[in-house]
Chain A
Amino acid sequence: MNIVNQLQRQFIDFSTSLHREGFVDDQFTQLQKLQDENSPDFVVEVVSLFFEDCEKLINNMARALEQTQGVDFKQVDASVHQLKGSSSSIGAMRVKNACISFRSFCEAQNREGCLRCLQQVTHEYSLLKNKLQTLFTLEQQILAAGGSIPVVD
C-alpha cells in the first residue's frame, strides 16, 4: 500500500471513529460535502470560527457564574443558547449535548450544576479541538502526498 492509500485509510478510520464516538454528526458531513474547489478551506474556516465562538462564550459563562453577589442565569443561558446553536450548525454533537444539559441547570438556577456543565462543555470543546486538528492534519498530509480526500458518508 503506498503512502497515499495508507493516509487515506487512516483518514477514513479516524473519520468513522469521530462519528461513532459522537464527536460529530451528520451536519459535519454536510459541511464537508459543501467544500469544493471554490472554497477548499471551507470546513477549516467554519470550524475555526466555531472554536473562537466557543472560547468567547465559555469565558462569558465563567464570568457570569463567578458573580458572588448573584448569578445572572439569563445571561449564562443566553451564552449557552448561542453555543448550542453554533455547535449544532457545525455538527459538534457532544458539545451541543453538553449545552442542552447546561440549559436545564440555568433554568433551575442551579449554580453548582451550571459550574459542572461549564466544565463539561470546556472538556468537550478541547477534546473536539484535538480530534479535528488531527483530522485536518491527515487531510493536509494526503493532499501533500498528491492524493485526494476520501468522502466518508
Chain B
Amino acid sequence: MEVAGEVLHSGSSQELHVLAVDDSYVDRKVIEKLLKTSSCKVTAVESGARALQFLGLDGGKGSLGFNGLKVNLIMTDYSMPGMTGYELLKKIKRSSAFREIPVVIMSSENILTRIDSCLEEGAEEFLVKPVKLSDVKRLTKDCVTRGETEGRDGRRVNKRKLEDDNHSSSSSTSSSPSTTASFGCGLATSELLSSPLHSSKRAKLRDRD
C-alpha cells in the first residue's frame, strides 16, 4: 500500500494512480501486481469505508483527500462485507468532488441484473474475476487516452447518469467479439447504455464462462 506523503507530479505525469478496493488479501495482492505491471501507482485498501477515508469522503478530511494524491481510477470488488462495491460506487458518483473518477467493478459472479445496476449507477465497466493483465492494460490505457482527450479539448465528460432514464436493459446480446472503446470515452452514461457497446460488453462478459 502506498504511504501517505508521496506527491505525484501535476497532471503531466503519465503514471495513473489507481485505488483498488477488495476485502480479499489474495485479490489485493494480485490486482496490485497487475496494476504495477501496467505502470500504475497503486493504493490498495480492504473496504469501501477505507476507500472513502482515503478519498477524504468520510467527512473528516478536506476534498483533496488523505494525502493530496489524485486518484485517476477506482477498481472495486462488488461483494464486500459492510459496504458493497455497488454502494461505494453510488457514494462516489454522488460526490461532486469525485464523480468524474472512473469506477470499475470486479465480481466473480456474472449476474446480469448486478451488471446492469452497476452500469446504471455510472460504473465504467464490470469485470468478471479473475481479472487478467489484458483487462488491466486495456482499462489503464483507456484511462490515459481519456485524460489526454479531456486535456486537449478542455471538455469534462459527465459520466453521472442523467435524468433521462430510458436505457433499455433488455437490449439483445449481439455477440461482437471484442469491445473497442468499451471505456466509454467521451460518451455520457445514458448514451453508453443504449449504444451497442452496452450489449457487446454483456456478450463479452457472457463469453467469459
Asked if B24 and A82 make an inter-chain contact with CB atoms under 8 angstroms apart, the answer reads yes
- For B7, list chain A residues within 8 Å (CB): none
Asked if A34 and B34 make an inter-chain contact with CB atoms under 8 angstroms apart, the answer reads yes
- For B130, list chain A residues within 8 Å (CB): 27, 30, 88-89, 91
Tell me how far the C-beta of A37 lies from the nearest C-beta in chain B, rounded to whole angstroms: 12
Cβ of B133 < 8 Å from any Cβ of A? yes
- For B36, list chain A residues within 8 Å (CB): 38
Cβ of B191 < 8 Å from any Cβ of A? no
Asked if A30 and B132 make an inter-chain contact with CB atoms under 8 angstroms apart, the answer reads yes
Cβ of B53 < 8 Å from any Cβ of A? no
Asked if B30 and A46 make an inter-chain contact with CB atoms under 8 angstroms apart, the answer reads yes
Cβ of A12 < 8 Å from any Cβ of B? no
Range of interface residues on B (Cβ < 8 Å): 10 to 19
- For B25, list chain A residues within 8 Å (CB): 49, 53
Asked if B133 and A89 make an inter-chain contact with CB atoms under 8 angstroms apart, the answer reads no
Asked if A89 and B33 make an inter-chain contact with CB atoms under 8 angstroms apart, the answer reads no
**Using a Cβ–Cβ cut-off of 8 Å, how many residues does chain A contribute to the interface with B?**
23
Asked if B27 and A85 make an inter-chain contact with CB atoms under 8 angstroms apart, the answer reads yes
- For B3, list chain A residues within 8 Å (CB): none
- In the complex, A42 Cα to B33 Cα: how many Å? 8
Tell me how far the C-beta of B209 lies from the nearest C-beta in chain A, rounded to whole angstroms: 12
- For B4, list chain A residues within 8 Å (CB): none
Asked if A86 and B79 make an inter-chain contact with CB atoms under 8 angstroms apart, the answer reads no
Asked if B133 and A30 make an inter-chain contact with CB atoms under 8 angstroms apart, the answer reads yes
Asked if B27 and A39 make an inter-chain contact with CB atoms under 8 angstroms apart, the answer reads no
Asked if B108 and A84 make an inter-chain contact with CB atoms under 8 angstroms apart, the answer reads yes
Asked if B30 and A31 make an inter-chain contact with CB atoms under 8 angstroms apart, the answer reads yes
- In the complex, A66 Cα to B154 Cα: how many Å? 62
Q: Scoring B residues 115 to 136 as 1 if CB is less than 8 Å from chain A, else 0, what string do you get?
A: 0000000000000011011000
Residue of A nearest to B25 (CB): A49
- For A55, list chain B residues within 8 Å (CB): none
Residue from the list A53, A84, A90 in contact with B30, Cβ < 8 A: A90
Q: Scoring A residues 94 to 122 as 1 if CB is less than 8 Å from chain B, else 0, what string do you get?
A: 00000000000000000000000000000
Residue of B nearest to A51 (CB): B26
7 A-B pairs besides A45-B29, A85-B108, A85-B129 with CB distance below 8 A are A34-B33, A34-B34, A53-B24, A81-B79, A85-B27, A89-B130, A90-B30
A to B CB contacts below 8 Å, 9 in the list: A31-B33, A34-B33, A81-B79, A84-B108, A85-B24, A85-B129, A89-B24, A89-B26, A90-B30
Q: Which 4 A-B pairs have the closest CB atoms?
A: A86-B26, A89-B130, A27-B130, A85-B108
- Give the interface of A toward B (CB within 8 A): 27, 30-31, 33-34, 36, 38-39, 42, 45-46, 49-50, 53, 81-82, 84-86, 88-91
